[in-house]
Amino acid sequence: MERARPILGTLVTIRLDAVGHSSDQIERGFTLAFAAVQTVHNLMSVHDPNSDLSQLNLLAAHTPYRPHPWTLAVLRRAKRMHSWSGGLFDPVVAARQLRAWQMLPPGLSAPTPHSSLQDLLIKGDLVWCRQSLTVDVGGIAKGFAVDMAILLLRRLGFRRAVVNAGGDLRVLGARAELIWVRHPHDPQQLMPLGELSNGACATSGIYYSVQTDSDGINRSALVHPHTQQAICLSHSYSVLAPCAVYADALTKVVAASQNPQHSALVLLGAVAMMLTSS
């Protein structure tokens, strides 16, 4: 059985294997799983000035901030990813560039020009920033939301499920699911990628966000943290990993490094696939 709702600025679908569950249990599963995704949205949307993350962006440079445990969990994973990727994954640098291109709201505080995720420090359950910055975890929040929904469904006793948040998906269960991916230049063309069980898949492609402005400068939702240029290639990258939050983060690392065998993938038991458009 499958349901879909608009959350996280995209379409979130949840599919459950109903066998062995009463209709009440199934309804409860859908309701609670969607609620988990909605919680991530409410906590971490940079487009909402009242979200936990927006408050952190506003306050943490002035005083230590205690975020919601889920926000903290995402920031911890972001820090890990930043470290394992040699800084190629950096949601602070990316946010700064996206803001300059007006792909993000102007925000409540101006970020310092050379701020990076290194300026965000976590100790215990407190976060503070060495200088004013904006962290936008949109790059991994979808994956995290998918993980939270899957873990919840597993706890509720479901043995097979698929949660898909705008293309970041995770399969619960040992039975393989056929995974499709979109053509990097034409999202209406699909290709079967492979079969996945008990794992996650995320794909980064810029077909919906790429623009060229009047100066001929390219903008896209993928930004290289070292050059601060838009990543506008004719490939898309799919990453398979045990959990969706890291699959999501790793697509940025593979896109920025152009290396489908980056060490961060090996560390996380992940695999990358590149789809070219020839």
Partner 1 sequence: MNWRAFAVGTLTATTAPIMVHASVFLTVQQAQQQMFGQATMQQVALSLNEDQQKHLKKTSGIYHPFKANQVYKVAGGGWFVVDQVLGKHEMITYAVGLHADGSVKQVEILEYRETYGGEVRNPNWRNQFVGKTAADPLKLNKDIKNISGATLSSRHLTDGVKRILALHQLSLKAL
177 belongs to the binding site for partner 1 (CB under 8 A): yes
In 3D, which of 87, 113, 81, 119 has the Cα closest to residue 100? 113
| Length of the chain as a residue count | 278
Q: Looking at 91-99, 131-139, 207-215, 224-232, which segment touches partner 1 (CB under 8 A)?
A: 207-215
- Closer by beta carbon to partner 1, 125 or else 186: 186
Site string for partner 1, 139-158 (x = CB under 8 A): --------------------
Minimum Å gap between C-beta 166 and partner 1 is: 6
DSSP string, 29-94: HHHHHHHHHHHHHHHH-TT-TTSHHHHHHHHTTTS-B---HHHHHHHHHHHHHHHHTTTS--HHHH
Minimum Å gap between C-beta 57 and partner 1 is: 22
242 belongs to the binding site for partner 1 (CB under 8 A): yes
In 3D, which of 235, 246, 243 has the Cα closest to residue 273? 235
Distance CA 38, CA 60 (A): 24
Ramachandran angles phi, psi of 195, nearest 5°: -120, 135
- Closer by beta carbon to partner 1, 127 or else 240: 240
- Closer by beta carbon to partner 1, 116 or else 251: 251
266 belongs to the binding site for partner 1 (CB under 8 A): no
Minimum Å gap between C-beta 114 and partner 1 is: 30
Distance CA 44, CA 74 (A): 9
Residues lying near partner 1 in the complex (CB under 8 A) are found at 2-7, 9-11, 15, 27, 162, 164, 166-169, 171, 174, 176-203, 205, 207-209, 236, 238, 240-242, 260, 269, 271, 273-278
